[in-house]
């Protein structure tokens, strides 16, 4: 029975967390730049990607981890841009957000552009990418 692995020191934990932030910030900056070229803020792009199918606003708020009223504002701007429309849900209280045809097209563009522009993985070989995936999944479990 091998001994328990040592707990991370505070400095070590901090250093590793800072690296995660920096990598994620870089990825996020890539994403933001790419979607800005498509006329979207990063959050709007995230919402478009999330709307693979019509989604209740409540569910969207939960997924985004924000208040329902915030989703109202986001939805307002996306409907104003003609990318999304409101559809009645399972009862009259529920509103689904559904992509318009233009929204579907733009969503596909976003997905392609984002993946093509992903620079964070470009520097790793296949084994490293697999390992990183594994480690991140362990953190997320």
Partner DNA sequence: CCCAGATCCTTGAGCACGTCAAGCACCTGG
Partner DNA sequence: CCAGGTGCTTGACGTGCTCAAGGATCTGGG
* Residues near DNA (CB under 7 A): 41-44, 56-58, 61, 64-77, 86, 89, 91-96
95-99 and 55-56 strand pairing: antiparallel
Which residues ranging from 27 to 56 are in contact with a copy of itself (CB under 8 A)? 27-29, 31
Cα angle 42, 43, 47 (rounded to 5 degrees) comes to 120
**In the complex, minimum distance from the CB of residue 27 to a copy of itself, in angstroms, rounded to a whole number:** 5
11 binds a copy of itself (CB under 8 A): yes
Q: How far apart are CA 30 and CA 33, in angstroms?
A: 5
**Residue closer to a copy of itself, measured from CB, 87 or 118:** 118
Q: At how many degrees (to 10) do helices 68-80 and 42-50 cross?
A: 90
DSSP conformation class of 123: T
**Residue closer to DNA, measured from CB, 18 or 124:** 18
Q: How far apart are CA 115 and CA 107, in angstroms?
A: 12
**Residue closer to DNA, measured from CB, 77 or 129:** 77
**In the complex, minimum distance from the CB of residue 119 to a copy of itself, in angstroms, rounded to a whole number:** 9
DSSP conformation class of 65: T
**Residue closer to DNA, measured from CB, 90 or 138:** 90
**In the complex, minimum distance from the CB of residue 116 to DNA, in angstroms, rounded to a whole number:** 22
Q: At how many degrees (to 10) do helices 42-50 and 57-64 cross?
A: 120
Q: Which does 93 bind (CB under 5 to 8 A by kind): DNA, a copy of itself, none?
A: DNA
């Amino acid at each position: 029975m091998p001994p328990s692995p040592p707990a991370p020191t505070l400095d070590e934990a901090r250093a590793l967390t800072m690296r995660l932030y920096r990598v994620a910030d870089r990825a996020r900056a890539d994403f933001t730049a790419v979607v800005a070229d498509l006329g979207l803020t990063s959050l709007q792009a995230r919402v478009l990607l999330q709307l693979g199918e019509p989604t209740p606003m409540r569910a969207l708020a939960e997924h985004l981890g924000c208040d329902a009223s915030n989703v109202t504002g986001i939805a307002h701007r996306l409907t104003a841009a003609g990318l999304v429309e409101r559809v009645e849900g399972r009862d009259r209280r529920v509103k689904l957000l559904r992509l318009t045809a233009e929204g579907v097209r733009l969503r596909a563009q976003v997905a392609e552009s984002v993946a093509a522009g992903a620079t964070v993985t470009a520097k790793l070989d296949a084994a490293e990418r697999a390992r990183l995936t594994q480690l991140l999944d362990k953190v997320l479990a």
